[in-house]
Every structure is written in C-alpha cells, then in structure tokens.
Chain A
Amino acid sequence: EPEVTQTPSHQVTQMGQEVILRCVPISNHLYFYWYRQILGQKVEFLVSFYNNEISEKSEIFDDQFSVERPDGSNFTLKIRSTKLEDSAMYFCASSEAWYTEAFFGQGTRLTVV
C-alpha cells in the first residue's frame, strides 16, 4: 500500500541551527502539506503546497520556515534558525487532489537543545 515516508524519524539539533525535514509523498499525489504537533497538544496545520508553490500557510509558518519540492519525489521543510519552541513532531501529508483525503507520514520528532 502506498504511503508517505519521512526522514529522519528523530532529529536533534542545536538552537540556531538549520534543519531540513524530508518527505516522500505518495507518488501520484499533487497536494502536499506539513503539520506540527507539540508534545501533548493537537496537530496544527503549517502549510500546503501545490504546483510548486505555497497555496496556504498558517500564522505559525513564519519567515524561518520554507518548503521546497527539489525534485519529482521529495518535499522538504526547512527551519532556518531553530528555536527551543520548534521542538515538536512534524508530519508530512499528501493528497491526490484538493478534494480528497490527505494521508499522513509517521512524522519526524525534532528536538532543539
């Protein structure tokens, strides 16, 4: 069964460092998303991406965040200068069309120390 895969599963980084979280969406999907879940809290939408550009973003997705589809298979989330409060699970998701279900990856746990 096709699935969204994310790497790494766990990333530890020093405050102020840049991190790149990687995702391989389901191959025939065209819409891509990043979500964040701070420990013990609900899952929060960060950004949606379609046709090589951001289609929507939340207020959480500020200038330190960026997304990219560098090739035909990967979808990345970059955090330029990490802060302690960026520590969270980051989930990638993809959907075939704008009106269809989004499938989530297993997440990357980011720990900023």
Chain B
Amino acid sequence: GQQLNQSPQSMFIQEGEDVSMNCTSSSIFNTWLWYKQEPGEGPVLLIALYKAGELTSNGRLTAQFGITRKDSFLNISASIPSDVGIYFCARSGDGGTSYGKLTFGQGTILTVHP
C-alpha cells in the first residue's frame, strides 16, 4: 500500500519555539491533510491542502503542499503548552474514492515544556 513517511517521530521543545514537521511519499497525491490528536480524543483536522505549491495558514499553523505533490510540511509558530499532542499527516481518497478514506502517517509526538 501507499506509505506516508512522517518525521520527526517526536519533538521536545520549549514554549515559544517554532516547530516544523514533514511528510513524504513515493506516490503523487492530490490532497494533503494535517490532523492533531490529543489524548483520549479522535483526530481533528487542522489544515487541508488541495493544490501543488499551496501554502495555507490556520492561526499559528502553516502548511504547504510540495510542488512535486509528494511531500508536505507543517509549521507551528510560537508554540504553547496546548499544542501538545500527536500530529498526523494524511492523504485522502483520490480518483473518485471517498475523501473520508484516509491514509495516515506514523505521527509526530509534540511535547511543549512551559
């Protein structure tokens, strides 16, 4: 199956620092999604990207869809303690299959020290 390689696996940062994580694939995708999962909760969509080269922001979060359509990054600026969680990249169904059928990366565990 199509695998998403997400890095880093975990990050330990100080409050106020910026964070960057990325996701790569050997296959071309038409969508990239970034989700956050907090303990005991389901994944929550942060940012959705639909066009190669697209750069989208959501508050302190910025994500870009790589021009080759094989990668994406997520940046968090000025991190705060509530940014703690697991961040997943995901691709959704392409070619007419449901966009709700998601393939997730392995996740990046983010810990923010006050």
Contacts and interface: CB of A to CB of B under 8 A. Distances in A.
B59 interface: no
Interface stretch (A62-70, A75-83, A103-111): A103-111
B interface residue count range (under 10 / 10 to 19 / 20 to 34 / 35 or more): 20 to 34
Contacts of A55: 97-98
B100 A33 contact: yes
A interface residue count range (under 10 / 10 to 19 / 20 to 34 / 35 or more): 20 to 34
A89 to B, nearest CB: 8
A33 B42 contact: no
Interface of B: 37, 40-45, 48, 88, 93, 96-107
18 contacts: A33-B98, A35-B102, A41-B106, A42-B104, A42-B105, A43-B37, A45-B103, A48-B98, A48-B101, A55-B97, A55-B98, A56-B101, A95-B98, A95-B100, A100-B100, A101-B100, A102-B100, A105-B42
